[in-house]
Structure 1
Amino acid sequence: MTNRTISAYLITFLLTFGSTASGMTFFQASDQSDPLLTLGGKSIDKDELIYLLSKGNNSEPGTPGMSREEYEENLDLFINYKLKVREAEAQGLDQSEEFLREFESFRENLKAPFLIRNSLEEGELRKAYARMQEIVRASHILLQFPANASTEDSLIVLRMALKIEDEIKNGGNINELAVKYSDDPSVQANQGDLGYFTALQMIQPFEDAAFSLQPGEVSDPVLTDFGYHIINVKDRQPNPGQVRVSHILVRIDENAPNGEDLAKRKVADIYTEIQKESTVWEDIVKNYSEDPSSSQKGGILPWFSVGSMIPEFEMAAFSLTEIGEVSPPIQTRYGYHILRLEDKKPVDSFESMEESIRSRILRDSRSTMIQSQVMAIQKSRYNFDENEENVAKLKSELSATSKNDFAQVMNEKDLARDQLFSLQGKSYVAQDLADFMNVQEIPLATKEGIFDAWYEKFAASVLNEAEEADLEANNKDYRMLLKEYRDGILLFSLMNEQVWQKGLMDSVAQKAYFQENIQKYQWKERVDAYIVKVLDMSQVDAARKLLQETTLSDDLISTFEKSYESSNSLAYQTEAGNLEYAEHPVLSKADINSTYQEIEANGHLHLVILGEKTSAGPKKFEETRGLVIRDYQEYLDKSLVESLRKKYPIKINPKAKEETFVALNQ
């Protein structure tokens, strides 16, 4: 069952389930910390009732608050709900393996929105989506580091990048300089021009720099995993969204001496043919396009946005403005294309793109950045104090070991008790790190050695535990939500076992309940009837011919329905059966002793044929089994509540009760 299901069930339960019962006593409050009530000696705070009822209250501002009568009813339902949770705990359902597994799963989902990481991720999501409203065109020069670069090598590359930056700012052409200096493998094809792009299409440091520049501005050297970049923004425009085009491709035969001329002549002839009014685009595509993946589908390509296609193709596609507009031939590295615009749409809403943006952010360097920020905030908040001297020593002594040998080497060098850090006054030592590594199955390593990776992972784990403990102890909203779901699982388990499944599966008990309450399952006077509601008055005479001067029978019904279903299925609506007539909207107006009659009801003419009458009397169990099961389950629920009210004495604090009522009406 999903989180949403239990939450919805719990609110529904509070509003609809439970039985009003007596057996409650009252005690006087001694101070404000007294509970709202106790059930069998277990205290329940007023905040829990306020939270649940406020969560279910969707009234508009300015509307009247909860009445006394509504409050008393909801308090009574709340008590019934808490009694069932109390009983589930008494039965040990909160210690079952199934409960613990399910609750832990819910806890993982529930805590996510409250964690520091979530707010940082949300900020990155919003920033990325805001950037997606624009497209940027930029050129760049990339200067890569040599293999196994030293610090001096890095400084040499940086000085070169600064020199090129000055040259551009003094009037140099970045595209010409890119051909001369850039280590980007595509530079010979694009002269450093990257075309248009938007958020999440470049690595983060490059994107950050590009979106901080205005057209004509040149960046300082930007460090990425590829090296240093000099970026020159050429243009910024509103994002045109997405486009869908179909195309015709004519490839260039590079093995033919005049391959390009032949392709150019062929695409020109195709373009001329397309201009004729009699031409069918799909036929031209099928006959002439050399793109095997799209030629049999009218040349249709998937939707794409800026930065998804090669620049020449993309610019031609986005330059088309009218649906059905065809571009002149354009050349790309694949050959010559003719494009037709099929559709356009703006940038999707944030809500529809949120999960896609999140997935992309968590796959790039932003994820590492977010994790670093999370740890920095956690360290500050929870008084993380690293023993830098010991950490440096442990790194030096243990980095060369493997995960399997880590504990042994640590003990041989007598390092187990060396402190790594303290957190909220608690000290963590090397042995704690070794224990942590021992229960982890995923191997980790870094260029520097094993210690760095495992120490970082261990510190992050300890900090996360501290944040979660702080969340549960000090965040009231989270604590209430967690309790709601915990109690919801217990409530569902108890009700499923003692009410729902028992009421559904125990056929012997169902029949016994049916016999004991037979007076609830009685037919009123009935009559066999066939009612034809005329929807098309032009067809009324045809119906009359078939129904007048006849006797009600299965053959009559079958003949009539076959006659109109095949010729005019919307002319009539019919109802047939042994029907209670006293309160029926049509039969209540009928003469029960007349075989055929026509009755006006609810603005429609009804043709009615009546047969045998049936006296009032008890229903058969099979005729009302669904209703019996529902009633029996309600009986089981009521009986359960009554037994629990006897088992767990209820004491209500009048002062806290009144304070709760006031709080709910503020």
Structure 2
Amino acid sequence: MTFAGFFNPCVFCEFTLIKKDKPVKQLFAILLLTFGLSGLVIAQNGDDVLFSVAGTPVTVDEFDYIYSKTNGNNADYSRKSLEEYLDLYIKFKLKVQKAHDLKLDTIPALKEELAGYRRQLADAYLIDRTVTDKLVQEAYERIQQDVDISHILVSVAPDASPADTMAAYQKIMTAKQQLSTGGSFETIAKSVSDDKSAQRNGGHIGFVTALFPKGLYQLETVAYTGPLNQLLGPIRSDAGYHLLKIHSRRPARGEMEAAHILLRVKDGNDAAVKKQMDSMRRTLEDGADFEQLAREHSEDRATANEGGYIGFFGINRYEPVFEDAAFAIENDGDISPVVKSNIGYHLIKRISRKTIQPFEVEKGRLEARISQDPRFEIAKTAMLNRIKMENDFKESAKVLNTFAQMQTDTFLTFRWKAPAKPSKETLFSLDDYKVTLGDFTDWLTRASRKRLRMGGGSSDVQAAVQSLYADFVNEKLMEFEETQLEERYPEFKALMREYREGILLFEATKMLVWDKAGQDTLGLRKFYDTIRGKYRWGDRVRTSVYEVHSKHKDMLTDIRNFAAENTPEEVLAKYNTPENKILKYEEFTYEKNRNVPPPMASAKWEAGTLSANEPTRLNTLKFYKFEEVMPPTTKTLQEARGYVVADYQDYLEKQWVEELKNEYRVKVNRKVFDSLIKE
């Protein structure tokens, strides 16, 4: 195993450049449509009450959070802005209060809908808050620094036996004892370490930065938290056992975008190459083009044709002397002094530098990497262990072992059936929450695919039971913790309140506004009479549309001339027979300047006008005839129904809000409200 290769994919044996790869009901929509709300309501006990609706309080923190979240950069906390939003939020709470009084929250279908939302959110929320968020924050703190480390590795295969694992442990402990009694780290690394790069570097990896490669999270954690210049370990990772020394830490260098010119040293021509490179450096100082010189002289075949362009690289990609010289260049466009590496002399041009970005910028990239890293499962396991510790986890090994011993070969086949009468024996408990053997056998029935995949003979059955039991426990631990989310996480409690109020608001508005607007025919007619004349047609034309297949295009002029003087019925009678239909005909009405087809746009807007011919994708030719020009007129209710219904909904909602204001007492604490104003 070449452990250093994890960190250092290119060590100047050749200047090979590696380029990175580029790498339900819509509830919140309902809230947005209703009162412009976006964001999570976070209220805390003891906050001052800003207003109440029918005695139900709304805290100043709740309102302040929603106001700032919804308005973003426009949240100026002026009296006008706050008054407008207070009015919106009071209307929202009035509607929610009405929904509660209508007992919509007791409707089974809505309760199940809310439960469904909760199931979807809870698992992801729990993982995000207790695992992902912590790992991302930890990773962001770590990428602020580079760490200079040396290590010794005694590898342990993933499928190593207990004896092999113990042998590896004893080997690393022997090495540690030798180091503790004055042995040379470099010498012992070369003789003991399974990292083949130790033969070259004596175990000194150099500066590295988080995130460490997959499987090395434990080593990364010690590298970022351990004391300097002490022998640390052994540290167990997926690679094996490590002894670690941390030499120093420094602010992270980030990434450099650069180009270079390389002249190789060979056959003792060091002085001549250095002289040639010094001359080239002076030429660049006199204004020569770096990219052109790289194309003409650079001996790095991979980059010469690209003007020497390397691209972006971070630390420990290239030889330290090259890296140090590149990161020492202060300004974009500047060129380094002549730099000597193991393969020759370089001139380096800085193109740009990418430092560590603010957390919100780095967060998405870190989340993506962490989700694919074994550290995620390590942290999840730690979370599950925490749940056990905090909730007095107790299990009955006797009940599980008895069950396991009773299972035969059929357990890992489709023939296995759970007992008809589930056992009530307690398998494990968390505080007062008990899980029975019957719960486990029911789960085994549902998890049949997982059970069948384990396969094997009778010798595998008990191990399979134990493995499946571990999965079952983890699932139940997650379920238990999810029941505690509202208590443990105020943000989740607020989120579920928003979902609950959103569902209630949707149903109440649907019942009292939307459905009524669409179904109350008499009320809609009366409302239309009050706004008659609001919706009008502009100039319109009743149009005949004739379509002729291109194979009959020689008849088109004759057809057009006849159509210009005759009715559609006469045109069809003349050219179509039951055996041969030459013409297709449709009639449309178009409104001027709105939905007119292109061939009609330039035609004269009067009866009898024929448009130009229009080719279609169906290999036909189409032309239009204006039969009748109709002047502007008021739209009938049927013609304007969609618009009228929308207006009627707005009207009903305004009426509804006024009724709610009369039905429920709204009390605003003006002193608290004034404290929010920042004019």
TM class by smaller structure: 0.5 to 0.7
Cα deviation, residue 301, structure 1 = 3.5
Counterpart in 2 of 1:78? 93
The one-letter amino acid paired with 2:120 is: E
Could you tell me how far 1:297 is from its partner in structure 2? 3.9
1:212 aligns to 2:225 (yes or no): yes
Q: CA deviation at 1:630?
A: 7.2
Q: What is the CA deviation profile of residues 198-246 of structure 1, one whole-angstrom value per residue up to 9, with x for unaligned ones? A: 2222512211222234443221322222222111222221212222112
**2:120 equivalent in structure 1:** 108
Whichever residue aligns with residue 78 of structure 1, its letter is: K
Residue of structure 2 in register with 1:377 after alignment: 386
Match of 2:464 in 1: 450
The higher relative CO (CA closer than 8 Å, separation ≥ 6) is in 1
Cα deviation code 1:226-277 (max 9, x no counterpart): 222111222221212222112346789xxxxx7x768997797467435413
Distance 1:111 1:659, change over 3 A: farther
Distance in 2, Cα, partners of 1:480 & 1:628: 40
1:90-489 paired onto structure 2 within 5 Å: 95=109, 104=116, 108-109=120-121, 112-113=124-125, 115=126, 118-145=129-156, 149-202=160-213, 203-248=216-261, 269=276, 272-276=279-283, 277-289=286-298, 294-307=303-316, 311=320, 313-323=322-332, 324-326=334-336, 328-331=338-341, 338-394=347-403, 403-404=412-413, 407-408=416-417, 419-440=426-447, 449-472=463-486, 478-489=492-503
What amino acid is aligned across from residue 463 of structure 1 in structure 2? L
Say if 2:56 is the partner of 1:46: yes
Secondary structure of the corresponding residue to residue 219 of structure 1? strand
- Judging changes above 3 Å, is the alpha-carbon distance between structure 1 residues 495 and 261 closer, same or farther for their aligned structure 2 residues? farther
Asked whether the 8 Å contact 1:137–1:233 carries over to 2, the reply is yes
Deviation for aligned residue 1:63: 8.6
| Distance across 2 between alignment mates of 1:263 and 1:369 | 52
Does residue 1:12 correspond to 2:36, yes or no?
yes
Deviation at 1:196, TM superposition (A): 0.7
SS at match of 1:221: strand
CA distance in 2: counterparts of 1:665 and 1:396, whole angstroms: 72
1:621-636 to 2 correspondences below 5 Å: 633-636=646-649
* Counterpart Cα distance in 2 of 1:500 and 1:442: 48
- Partners of 1:499 and 1:66 lie apart in 2 by 27
SS at match of 1:303: strand
In the alignment, is the contact (CA less than 8 A) between 2:148 and 2:248 conserved in 1?
A: yes
How much has 1:142 moved relative to structure 2? 0.9
Task: Give, in whole Å, the separation in 2 of the partners of 1:649 and 1:134.
Answer: 59
CA contact (8 A) 1:157 1:228 kept: yes
Any stretches of 5+ residues in structure 2 without a counterpart?
1-24, 39-51, 69-74, 537-630
Counterpart Cα distance in 1 of 2:340 and 2:511: 70
The 8 Å contact of residues 66 and 665 in structure 1, kept in 2 or not, is answered as no
CA RMSD of aligned residues (A): 5.5
Contact residue 157 and residue 239 of structure 2 kept, 8 A: no
**Which one-letter code corresponds to 1:212 in the other structure?**
T
Structure-1 separation of matches of 2:255 and 2:146:
12
* CA gap 1:231/1:307 in 2 versus in 1, 3 angstroms: same
Q: CA separation of 1:341/1:73 partners in 2, compared to 1, >3 Å: closer, same or farther?
A: closer
- Structure 1 residues 451 and 77: CA distance shift in structure 2, 3 A: closer
Question: For 1:235 and 1:261, how far apart are their aligned partners in 2?
Answer: 36
| CA 74–174 in structure 1, closer or farther in 2 if over 3 Å, else same | closer
Which SS does the other structure have where 2:336 is aligned? coil
Q: Verify the 8 A CA contact 1:384 1:422 in the aligned structure 2.
A: yes
Aligned-partner Cα distance in 2 for 1:294–1:496: 65
Q: For residues 9-52 of structure 1, what are the alpha-carbon distances to aligned partners after superposition, in whole Å with 9 as ceiling and x for unaligned? A: 454379xxxxxxxxxxxxxxxxxxxxx87xxxxxx871479886
1:482 partner amino acid = M
| Equivalent AA in structure 2 for residue 436 of structure 1 | W
Which whole-Å deviations, capped at 9, do the CAs of 1:413-465 have from their partners, x for residues lacking one? x9966642134545433443343244345677699943344222211222222
- Of 207-216 and 628-637, more deviation after overlay is shown by 628-637
Return the letter of the residue paired with 1:12: G
Distance 1:174 1:73, change over 3 A: closer
Q: How has the CA–CA distance of structure 1 residues 327 and 415 changed in structure 2, closer, same or farther, with 3 Å as cutoff?
A: farther
Query: SS state of the match for residue 220, structure 1?
Result: strand
> 2:325 touches 2:339 (CA, 8 Å); kept in 1?
no
- Contact 1:249–1:289 under 8 Å retained in 2: yes
CA separation of 1:5 and 1:313: change in aligned 2, threshold 3 A: farther
Query: How far apart are residue 182 of structure 1 and its match?
Result: 0.8
Count of aligned residue pairs for this structure pair: 525
Q: 1:52 to 1:283 in 2, by over 3 A?
A: same
After superposition, the Cα gap between the structure-2 partners of 1:117 and 1:510, relative to the gap in structure 1 and judged at 3 Å, is: closer
CA distance in 2, matches of 1:493, 1:289: 72
The residue that corresponds to 2:650 in the other structure is 637
Deviation at 1:517, TM superposition (A): 2.2
Tell me the distance in 1 between the aligned counterparts of 2:339 and 2:489.
63
Between the aligned residues of both structures, percent identity stands at 20
CA distance in 1, matches of 2:335, 2:220: 33
Residue type at the aligned position of 1:166: Q
Could you tell me how far apart the structure 2 residues matched to 1:12 and 1:123 are? 32
Cα drift, residue 476 of structure 1: 6.2
Paired residues for 1:536-547 under 5 Å = none
Contact map agreement 1:241 1:344 (CA 8 A) in 2: yes
- Judge conservation of contact 1:80–1:641 (CA < 8 Å) in 2: no
Structure 1 residues 234, 105: closer, same or farther in 2, change over 3 A?
Answer: same
Tell me by how many angstroms 1:183 deviates: 0.7
CA distance in 2, matches of 1:140, 1:74: 60
Taking a change above 3 Å as real, the CA distance of residues 249 and 512 of structure 1, as seen in their structure-2 partners, is: farther
Q: 1:490 & 1:291 partners in 2: Cα distance? A: 68
CA contact (8 A) 2:338 2:345 kept: no
Structure 2 contact 67–85 (Cα < 8 Å) conserved: no
Q: Distance in 2 between matches of 1:434 and 1:398?
A: 12
Tell whether the 8 Å contact from 1:196 to 1:311 is kept in structure 2 after alignment.
no
